[in-house]
Amino acid sequence: MTAAVPSAASAELSPGVPQPATGDATSPATASPLLLVEDLEAGYGPINVLHRLSLTVYPGEIVAIIGANGAGKTTTLLAISGIVPARAGRIVFQGRDLTAEGIPPHEIVRLGLAHAPEGRKIFPRLTVRENLDMGAFTRNDPDGIAADLEKVFTLFPILRQRQQQPGGLLSGGEQQMLAIARALMARPKLLLLDEPSLGLAPQIVVHIFQVIRELNRQGVSVLLVEQNARMALKNAHRGYVLETGRITLSGTGQQLLHDPRVRAAYLGE
């Protein structure tokens, strides 16, 4: 989708201000944020992609970021996970300022933040089992790793069947399952998901979102970037609309799903 929310939208809802969550998530009124991003700027070379971007994720939430191609959604997740350096602003996870402390990406994973990137980025020559073992590389608890391996095989039974097969021989849907499962092997408190439904058959998309809801019920918070805006907002407690590196709208998933500007720009109505 290439349409953008009209810029007038930013005048009507305050960007970056969380709305009350629904469902099982902890209310923003009664909890500290699990993730706090304030006035974040990041980019590539001389180009700034993100412009004073602010957002929050509270414990137990699914938070969606929607926007047109090139809006800065992937850059947002890469900056949070430490892969793209922040040029200004701050990223605070579980009370620790990742930017001020200069915490590297592998240590951010160790703190409980895992990232399943756009395009899956599995290791194609490693087996499924070896890919999953790589997801647990920061851990040193064999019993816990074995328990989590069983959990991901329960979530994605096909991976148990394929565990000795090279990752590159999996179908697109199976590779996406593997990318999510690999991230889960880090036992994250916050899971970053970048376009988990991209290029997948509708029945696989339904399964992926069933897994996201189940993970959330199990206590994993999720920050979701998703081109399927309808599916993302249906499943999210809250959401943000990102336009050219700036948050232009925020609200509950249901508020955004029924906002006429979002419906016109992202839902094809």
Residue 63 in this model has a pLDDT that exceeds 80: yes
| Mean pLDDT, range 47-54, rounded to an integer | 97
Mean pLDDT across the chain: 90
pLDDT for position 102: 94
Helix (H) or strand (E) holding 105: helix 105-111
Residue 9 in this model has a pLDDT that exceeds 80: no
pLDDT category of residue 199 using cuts at 50, 70 and 90: confident
Residue 6 in this model has a pLDDT that exceeds 60: no
pTM of the model: 0.88
Residue 20 in this model has a pLDDT that exceeds 60: no
Residue 246 in this model has a pLDDT that exceeds 50: yes
Residue 71 in this model has a pLDDT that exceeds 80: yes
- % of the chain with per-residue pLDDT over 90: 85
pLDDT category of residue 26 using cuts at 50, 70 and 90: low
| Mean pLDDT, range 195-218, rounded to an integer | 94
8-36 b/e (C-beta count within 10 Å ≥ 16 → b): ebbeebebbebbebeeebbebeeeebbbb
pLDDT for position 19: 38
- Report CA-CA distances (Å) from 180 to 19, 42, 120, 194, 258: 27, 25, 8, 10, 29
| Mean pLDDT, range 79-98, rounded to an integer | 97
pLDDT category of residue 75 using cuts at 50, 70 and 90: very high
Higher per-residue pLDDT: 269 or 19 = 269
pLDDT for position 156: 96
Q: pLDDT tens digits, residue range 106-158? A: 999 999 999 999 988 999 999 999 999 999 999 999 999 999 999 999 999 99
- Report CA-CA distances (Å) from 144 to 60, 122, 147, 179: 22, 22, 5, 19
pLDDT for position 120: 83
